[in-house]
Amino acid sequence: MKKDYRQEYELPFTPLTVMHEAARCLLCYDAPCSKACPAQTDPAKFIRSVRFRNFKGAAETVRKNNALAAVCARVCPTEKLCRQGCSRSGIDRPIEIGKIQRYVTDFEDACGMKILEKGSKNSGKVAIIGSGPAGLQAAATLTELGYDVTVFEKNEKCGGWLRYGIPEYRLPSPVLDKEINRIAQMGVTFVTKREIKDLQPLKSEFKAILLATGASYGRTLPLFENNKYAELAVDVLAKIKDKNGKISVPESVLIIGGGDVAMDVATSLKLLGSRSVTVVAREQAFEFPASSEELKAARENCVSIIDGYTPVSADGNKVTFKHVALDAGLTIKADKIILAIGQRADLEGFGVKAENGIVHTVGYQTDDKQIFAAGDIVDGDKLVVSAIKYGKEAAHAIHAYLGGKQ
Ligand SMILES: Cc1cc2nc3c(=O)[nH]c(=O)nc-3n(C[C@H](O)[C@H](O)[C@H](O)COP(=O)(O)OP(=O)(O)OC[C@H]3O[C@@H](n4cnc5c(N)ncnc54)[C@H](O)[C@@H]3O)c2cc1C
Ligand code: SF4
């Protein structure tokens, strides 16, 4: 079937298929799926509600635990998380937890349910720097705890990599807009196009500050410095999202990297019309970091994937690779070379202790007790659902610091 970049790639469940899928659940007593969800979205509980046709109850469970549940339903690499824990795997195949969660959050949206609300007590003002998943979840949790939260975001729109990285065919912008609107309706103030460089001026106005600035910049390799054919994958993805897919694409593309970002840019360019897209990864096939869904989409769209090769030299648009284990080499020429080899943080100016883009924290608190940190800058885990877990836990750490009960 021909796919469109703007059309959601995975089809949703229907009322019939979601009931069929929920009926496969074994209703485990100690539910390993729930233990395996970093954000504690509690799939065992919401799937049980779906099984008994209690969709409202399911939506309440999902949303109370995860302020970005509709996003997670679409982008979580579930085979490494909740589905990996699913006991049904021992019989045939794990339950499609992400797709059930998507059905439940679509239902919540269709019914206009308002589940998250501001806490009644006036607990004071907290500032959050960065509106990616860590900042958004922290904003929701702190608001539920009664704080007045202001989120400062340097970009025009909120969402971090959810907005400017993950492609439209996996996470449609309207889904993200609704998630952010729900948080705004709780009473959170969003100040966009405001890059915070120095935290000192905020310290007198806000009782606590949470840094959630993520790893906002793509990494490059010395081999490709000043190479006019080379571009960073995250820059290409941001351009595609910004123009809603209306960009001219190169005929042939060589992508270096084997993670989700490499597969995202490969599939996006294929969907947008590039004739030949080749991904070359240092990892061998069995250790690919990209999720199975991402690999599936890339393969279905005829992306060529070559594993186990690392680049050793570049001459204009011609790149030579050598195999990591074998005595073998390979040279590929393409109109465009795209680097998808990871992201890095810029923590300069914040005055917090950090090493290699990771802020030094104890229980999310930095050396300066008024400043906390969460998301990609506290851990190299780099998943949306992990950023949500950190955002939630950091909010509770701030609450405890400000004298609230845990
Ligand atoms: C292309 C791509 C695809 C991905 N796909 C997946 C996926 O499918 N599944 C998954 O689980 N994870 C995926 N990830 C990883 C995931 O998106 C990140 O781990 C997650 O977004 C990290 O959240 P965060 O809140 O820490 O930071 P970010 O999402 O990076 O958000 C940080 C925010 O802070 C803002 N900011 C930075 N500095 C300042 C400043 N000085 N002042 C004000 N604002 C500032 C930034 O503009 C940004 O909006 C993907 C990442 C990329 C790049
Ligand atoms: S949030 Fe993600 S990991 Fe957790 S149950 Fe939902 S789909 Fe699974």
Domain extents in the chain: 15-110, 125-216+345-401, 218-342
Domains 125-216+345-401 and 218-342 share a fold: yes
- Cα–Cα distance for residue pair 116/119, rounded to 1 Å: 9
Q: How far is the CA of 231 from the centre of ligand 2 (A)?
A: 33
* CATH T-level topology, domain 125-216+345-401: FAD/NAD(P)-binding domain (3.50.50)
pLDDT of residue 406: 53
Q: Is 342 in the pocket of ligand 1 (CB under 6 A)?
A: no
Q: Sheet containing 125-129: which strands, arranged edge to edge? A: 189-191, 148-152, 125-129, 208-211, 371-373
pLDDT of residue 5: 84
pLDDT of residue 381: 63
Q: How far is the CA of 344 from the centre of ligand 1 (A)?
A: 11
Pick the residue whose CA is nearest to atom 14 on ligand 1: 383
pLDDT of residue 1: 44
- Cα–Cα distance for residue pair 94/83, rounded to 1 Å: 6
Pick the residue whose CA is nearest to atom 27 on ligand 1: 214
At 121, give phi and psi (nearest 5°).
-80, 145
Q: Is 133 in the pocket of ligand 1 (CB under 6 A)?
A: yes
pLDDT of residue 285: 85
Q: What is the number of the ligand 2 atom nearest to the C-alpha of 101?
A: 6
Supply the CATH classification number for the domain 15-110.
1.10.1060.10
- Cα–Cα distance for residue pair 202/56, rounded to 1 Å: 40
Pick the residue whose CA is nearest to atom 7 on ligand 1: 75
Q: What is the mean pLDDT of each run of 10 residues along the chain (406 residues)?
A: 76 96 96 96 98 97 98 96 94 97 98 95 92 98 97 97 96 97 98 96 97 94 95 97 93 96 97 97 90 92 96 97 96 98 92 92 97 93 92 97 78
Q: Where are the alpha helices (DSSP H) in 67-154?
A: 69-75, 82-85, 97-110, 133-144
210 Cβ contact list (under 8 Å, min separation 6): 126, 127, 128, 129, 135, 138, 371, 372, 373, 374, 394, 395, 398
Give the residue from 291, 377, 286 showing the smallest Cα distance to 75: 291
> CB–CB of 266/279 below 8 Å?
yes
CATH 3.40.50.720 fits 218-342, yes or no: no
Ligand nearest to the CA of 388: 1
Element (H, E) at 210: strand 208-211
pLDDT of residue 287: 87
Instruction: Enter the pTM of the model.
Output: 0.95
